[in-house]
């Protein structure tokens, strides 16, 4: 493999924000070797096929990668598969995540199951994946570690009564139905703290670490794109462009922080 290419491993890259991130990396003037992570080989290869059709002129390279963040064995296999190609990665993007508060009940999941599955995918899985890939990451001359978070994890935003998710329900119990995301929001708060720990742990290794809030955008996350549009969600293409900008050094002054596209609370979310 060429040593001039920036090596990227990104999870959840077959759809949504992850897909758009890969798309913008392929459009960049810089050459990349991207390991496109998905939960199955079929999903990863299908995304790669579509991306090659969208950006046939790219000088970057794509390699399928299978990784299920709920499985330590899957994470181990993904690491070993990458090792057969390269012992170095330059950028690790923990993008994959789930929002089960909305669709979990209709799929028969209990509240405990929703919290457990959300946490293992959004926090525990990225933490274990990161720990596994650290030996490859610190071999880079310019290592970068990104965790994709959410504006709903902002304590400042949670105090804004105008935000759609912060409406006060009427008194009494049970409460009338409205969109609530307790498991998802809690998991992203946890992910922000995971980032802070990795920033501290890897500081003397020269690894640049962030959480990145891609903004409120329309994806399949949560299972209701139309509702997302109604509350002002944008196109995920802008999120992919922003994450690419972080990868390419545009937010190096904000290492160790949560950075975001301009949305409601400026560029830096308070912890």
Which element (helix H / strand E) includes 189? helix 182-202
Q: Is the peptide bond before 37 cis (omega within 30 degrees of 0)?
A: no
Contact between residue 185 and residue 213 where contact means Cβ atoms under 8 Å apart: no
247/18 Cα distance (integer angstroms): 13
Contact between residue 148 and residue 212 where contact means Cβ atoms under 8 Å apart: yes
State the catalytic residue, choosing from 19, 184, 187, 257: 184
Contact between residue 199 and residue 147 where contact means Cβ atoms under 8 Å apart: no
| Alpha-carbon distance values, 161 to 130, 180, 237 (Å) | 36, 14, 28
127/41 Cα distance (integer angstroms): 22
- Picking from 7, 59, 66, 71, the residue whose alpha carbon sits closest to that of residue 30 is 59
Q: Is 44 a catalytic residue?
A: no
- Picking from 150, 174, 180, 170, the residue whose alpha carbon sits closest to that of residue 264 is 150
State the catalytic residue, choosing from 43, 188, 208, 257: 188
Q: Is 19 a catalytic residue?
A: no
Contact between residue 137 and residue 92 where contact means Cβ atoms under 8 Å apart: yes
Q: Is 46 a catalytic residue?
A: no
State the catalytic residue, choosing from 60, 150, 154, 239: 150
What is the set of active-site residues?
Answer: 150, 184, 188
């Amino acid at each position: 493999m060429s040593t001039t290419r920036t090596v990227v491993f990104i999870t959840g890259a077959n759809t949504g924000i992850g897909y758009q991130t890969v798309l913008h990396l392929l459009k960049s003037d810089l050459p990349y070797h991207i390991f496109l992570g998905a939960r199955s080989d079929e999903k990863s290869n299908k995304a790669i096929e579509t991306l090659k059709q969208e950006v046939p002129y790219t000088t970057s390279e794509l390699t399928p990668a299978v990784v299920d963040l709920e499985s330590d064995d899957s994470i181990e296999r993904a690491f070993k598969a990458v090792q057969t190609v390269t012992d170095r990665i330059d950028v690790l993007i923990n993008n994959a995540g789930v929002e089960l508060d909305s669709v979990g009940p209709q799929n028969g999941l209990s509240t405990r199951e929703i919290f457990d599955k959300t946490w293992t995918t959004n926090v525990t899985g990225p933490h274990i994946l990161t720990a596994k890939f650290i030996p490859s990451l610190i071999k880079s001359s310019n290592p970068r570690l990104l965790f994709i978070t959410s504006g709903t994890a902002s304590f400042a935003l949670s105090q804004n009564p105008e935000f759609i998710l912060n409406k006060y329900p009427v008194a009494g119990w049970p409460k009338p139905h409205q969109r609530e995301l307790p498991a998802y929001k809690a998991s992203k708060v946890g992910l922000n703290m995971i980032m802070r720990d990795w920033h501290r742990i890897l500081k003397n290794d020269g690894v640049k670490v962030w959480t990145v809030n891609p903004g409120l955008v329309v994806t399949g996350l949560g299972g209701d794109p139309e509702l997302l549009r109604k509350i002002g969600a944008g196109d995920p293409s802008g999120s992919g462009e922003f994450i690419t900008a972080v990868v390419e050094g545009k937010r190096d002054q904000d290492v160790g922080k949560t950075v975001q596209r301009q949305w409601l609370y400026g560029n830096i979310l308070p912890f």
